Amino acid sequence: MKKLGMGLVGPGFIAAHHLDAVRRLGNVEIVGIAGSSLESAKKRARELNAGRAYASYPELLADPAVQVVHNTTPNHLHREVSLAALRAGKHVISDKPLASNTQEARELYEAAREAHVAHVVTFNYRGYPLVQQARAMIAKGKVGPAVFVHGCYLQDWLTDERAYSWRLDPKLGGASSALGDIGSHWCDLAEHVTGARITAVLADLHTAVPVREVPAASPKAFAGAAKSTPRRKIKITSEDLASVLLRFDNGARGCVTVGQVLPGHKNDLRLEVSGRLASLAWRQEQPNELWIGHHAQANTLLTRDPALLDPAARGYAHLPAGHPEAWADAFRNLMADAYAWIRRGGTPETKPAALPTFADGYRNSLLVDAMLKSHAAGGVWQHVEDPLG
Binding site residues, ligand SOE, CB under 6 A:
155, 181-182, 185, 267
β 4-9/68-71 pair status: parallel
**CB-closest chain residue to ligand SOE:** 181
Q: Determine the 3-state secondary structure of 379 from DSSP.
A: coil
Nearer to ligand SOE, 182 or 225 (CB): 182
Express the helix, strand and coil content of the chain in percent, nearest 5 each.
35, 25, 40
Nearest distance in Å: CB 181, ligand SOE: 5
Question: DSSP string of 6-67?
Answer: EEEE--STTHHHHHHHHHHHSSEEEEEEE-SSHHHHHHHHHHHT-SEEESSHHHHHT-TT--
CA distances from 120 to 42, 114, 280, 331 (A): 27, 14, 27, 13
Nearer to ligand SOE, 119 or 185 (CB): 185
Nearer to ligand SOE, 185 or 247 (CB): 185
Distance in angstroms (rounded) separating the CA atoms of residues 303 and 377: 44
Nearest distance in Å: CB 91, ligand SOE: 21
Nearest distance in Å: CB 270, ligand SOE: 14
Report CA 38 to chain centroid distance, whole Å.
Answer: 28
Nearest distance in Å: CB 102, ligand SOE: 19
Nearest distance in Å: CB 185, ligand SOE: 6
Nearer to ligand SOE, 181 or 337 (CB): 181
CB count within 10 Å of CB 296 equals: 4
Nearest distance in Å: CB 228, ligand SOE: 26
Nearer to ligand SOE, 17 or 42 (CB): 17
Nearer to ligand SOE, 71 or 155 (CB): 155
Nearer to ligand SOE, 264 or 322 (CB): 264
Q: What is the DSSP letter of 357?
A: B
Report CA 9 to chain centroid distance, whole Å.
Answer: 17
Nearer to ligand SOE, 129 or 173 (CB): 173
Nearest distance in Å: CB 242, ligand SOE: 14
Nearest distance in Å: CB 154, ligand SOE: 11
Report CA 110 to chain centroid distance, whole Å.
Answer: 20
CA-based nearest residue to 135, from 293, 273, 13, 258: 273
Distance in angstroms (rounded) separating the CA atoms of residues 128 and 134: 10
